[in-house]
Chain A
């Protein structure tokens, strides 16, 4: 064959270019990723899984949960809300200041029923002028960054998932099918371990239309001894065992639930900004209240 060296060289270059683009460069960019700090609270994220949850990851893998459950939240866009908390002392001055930035907001209704959202833009730079104008006349505002998208409106997450969320997974299991719901945030969505155990034993007892198979081999049916087991499931209706018997989770079931509860990809990261929901405010002790 003539020009075989040209063909070989062209194929070699094409394959090396795709290897470099898909394997080498991502490895150089993200391969050494380590714990990062959340924004703005500077907590370390992610936290390595405790031992039981790490065992649970292997149970999750061996049961093939990944074939029906994804662990990745998508995001289509983002909105920035400007929430007016306090209009300051002089309503007219505040309205004039707001009106200079956004003319259509210069009407008395803007200041009624506070705190309320007065504007929605698509990046903070757009809201900065408004914030500056309002704080300049003694008002108080809050700016919220809220990711949007189908997965987020389903309640599967607060933000999109990014590489940082998976750095402690030795086998990353993002999944490809969604026969069941996404589990990237199941630890914050459904944080009750008893709910999770009941759901694994009898899925329809907790979710009426669940299509998940029951994982009964993760549990042990035992005759109740002198004292009932402390961690026996509290089941009612069809799934309850016969009188005199109890359903006790095995070590595997506990590990799997510990793993599920460790899935919480919701910390605000630099590369996936989101305003965390306000922490439940404790009763205020202030100087004035003394």
Chain B
């Protein structure tokens, strides 16, 4: 710089010191490059590329994705649950236990837990009227054709849920089966009675 120790220091004639350019020491440059490299490496390992859905200790979106539950093949369960709870649960109760003078139980019901689902599919498609015995109890109510408005897949999901919820366990219902049942029913719009239902194949 321009400081000269021989000259007395005086505030009046000395110019304000200014910054000049000097070459950066090599060691400093290499230190900075090394630090930059290490931080980039660390970021690559743990940064998650600023994804909002990646939190520590997960490393990347692929890592989190790898921990998701695998497809269970039971997608009907959640779809059926929504349909059941918005339409059927009013009378049959959200837990399938039924409601006195509104709807018989579905949990553990012998009408639900048949090996084949064909007879069960007929009930929501056309309706059910008159006396019926469910779990040893007599019921005498009317059910409208609540299921006729659904697509085959929706009714299959719904009935699969009914057959596998609240401790029920029975084979699932496929859209094919519902389609077949609609063909069997044809133009009939009069609700079934319990005796008529028994004549339908399981």
A residues with CB within 8 A of B: 2-3, 25-26, 29-30, 39-42, 75-78, 80, 123-125, 128, 131, 143, 145, 149, 160, 162-163, 270-273, 275, 281-287, 290
**Contact yes or no, A29 B113, CB < 8 A:** no
Given known A-B contacts A75-B57, A78-B57, A270-B64, A285 and B107 have beta carbons under 8 A apart: yes
Given A78-B57, A78-B67, does the pair A285, B52 have CB atoms closer than 8 Å? no
Q: Contact residue range for chain B?
A: 20 to 34
Contact B70 A42 (CB under 8 A): no
Q: Which residue of A lies closest to B75 (CB)?
A: A40
- B residues near A (Cβ < 8 Å) are 16, 18-19, 50, 52-58, 63-64, 66-70, 72, 78, 107-108, 110, 113-115, 166-171
Offer 5 A-B interface pairs, CB within 8 angstroms, sorted by A: A162-B55, A270-B68, A273-B69, A285-B169, A287-B113
B166–A273 CB distance below 8 A: no
- CB-based contact A285/B70 at 8 Å: no
Evaluate contact between B170 and A282: CB separation under 8 angstroms.
Answer: no
Nearest B residue to A148, CB-CB: B57
Q: Is the CB of B67 within 8 A of A2?
A: no
The reply to whether B55 and A123 contact each other, CB–CB distance below 8 Å, is no
Partner of B168, one of A271, A273, A275, A285: A285
Question: Using Cβ atoms and an 8 Å threshold, which residues of chain B touch A282?
Answer: 166-167
Chain B residues in 8 Å Cβ range of A25? 50
- CA A41 to CA B108, docked complex, whole Å: 23
CA distance A40 to B82 in the complex (A): 14
Q: What residues on A are CB-neighbors of B16 within 8 Å?
A: 2
Give chain B residues whose Cβ lies under 8 Å from the Cβ of A145: 67, 69
In the complex the two chains form, is A284's CB within 8 Å of B167's CB? yes
Question: A286–B55 contact, CB under 8 A?
Answer: no
Q: Which 7 A-B pairs have the closest CB atoms?
A: A286-B169, A282-B167, A29-B52, A285-B108, A273-B67, A271-B53, A123-B66
| Known contacts A75-B57, A77-B57, A163-B52, A285 near B113 by CB under 8 Å | yes
Bound together, the chains give a CA A286 to CA B55 distance in angstroms of: 42
Closest to A143 in B: B70
